[in-house]
Structure 1
Amino acid sequence: MNFKIASEEILDVLHLAQENLLRAERIKFEKCKHWRKNKIPNSPGVYALFEKDNKLLYIGESGNLQDRMNEINRTVNHSFRKQIGFLRYNGVKSSKKYDADIETKLDTYFAEELYVAFIEVYYGRLEIEEFIISNHQDYLINSVKKRKLKTIMDYLKDVR
């Protein structure tokens, strides 16, 4: 059995997912477990990180949004925190933590400035993430991912 979805249909789904994510409720980031359990679903999805002035900073995806919000608190686990430490506080990038002063500044930044929005997505998270990043790459701090497989964006180039 052949199953083929038209590029226009895929593009419609990607645009709808982007719109839903960018219009989703912005939830103030908190470091505590209670916040994650009460505000963030234990499900797969795509998320966006914003500063309090609604400036979009980062797009990510995860098989478990609740777990990802825990990982983002730790410099060793998440590229967003590493990038903020480097860009805002002149931290020296490494695979481990920054020095205590920069880690404290990062904790304060997260507590005072950071908001998260998400949509639950059970299939196609990577494609949605890549689509949104490609549409907002000029001001996101996402590091460009080098995927080895041909992605949905390769197929949709000519449709846009």
Structure 2
Amino acid sequence: MNLNKPSKELLDILHLTQEKLLTAERIKFEKNIEWRRKMIPDGPGIYALFEKNNKLLYIGESGSLRERMGEINRTVNHSFRKQIDHIRFNGVKSSKKYNSEVETKLDKFFDEEIYVSFVEVYFGRLEIEEFMISNHQMFLTNSFKKRKFKTVMDYLRDFK
């Protein structure tokens, strides 16, 4: 057994989980705790954010999907919201909260446009996330520079 390369079974799991996430029910994002309690499991997993036209925007992973859905709508807590402001509203990337006008635009965008799907995953979330981001990078707002694709993607390229 070569532990430096993923097995066919591991590659199958990566592809299967990707398919499950991309075909999972898309739930309209809401900015309230009752929605999170009712619709989002508290366990670990990977998630995808879509526009209402089914355009894939973002892929992420979290130790708690429910908590992440609470964080995602706060500018200081999540890069997706910052990226959307930069891409859609020509805002300046910031690590802080934007002025109230920009925050209002972002809230409206989330209220009208954002849908989420998720798959609970208890082991290998980061590898699945990296695999999916690398497969869909040209469509995503995920920051490529922050990722460490070399670990997973180099092995996948070598696996034939």
Report the TM-score range of the alignment, normalised by the length of the smaller protein. over 0.9
User: TM-score scaled to structure 2, two decimals?
Assistant: 0.93
Question: Which residue in the other structure is 1:39 paired with?
Answer: 39
Q: Give, in whole Å, the separation in 2 of the partners of 1:140 and 1:21.
A: 15
Deviation at 1:27, TM superposition (A): 0.2
Gaps of 5+ in 2: none
Question: Which residue in the other structure is 2:147 paired with?
Answer: 146
Is 1:64 matched with 2:61? no
What letter matches 1:146 in structure 2? R
- Percent identity, aligned pairs only, is 67
Question: Which residue in the other structure is 1:108 paired with?
Answer: 108
Q: Give, in whole Å, the separation in 1 of the partners of 2:12 and 2:47.
A: 19
Gaps of 5+ in 1: none
User: TM-score scaled to structure 1, two decimals?
Assistant: 0.93
What RMSD over aligned residues (CA atoms) do the two structures have, in Å? 1.7
Tell me the alpha carbon deviations over residues 26-62 of structure 1, each in whole angstroms, 9 at most, x when there is no partner: 0000001000000000000000000000000000000
8 Å CA contact 2:6–2:159 kept in 1: the answer is no
8 Å CA contact 1:7–1:155 kept in 2: the answer is no
What letter matches 1:138 in structure 2? M
Q: Give, in whole Å, the separation in 1 of the partners of 2:6 and 2:89.
A: 46
Larger deviation: 84-93 or 19-28? 84-93
Deviation at 1:150, TM superposition (A): 5.8
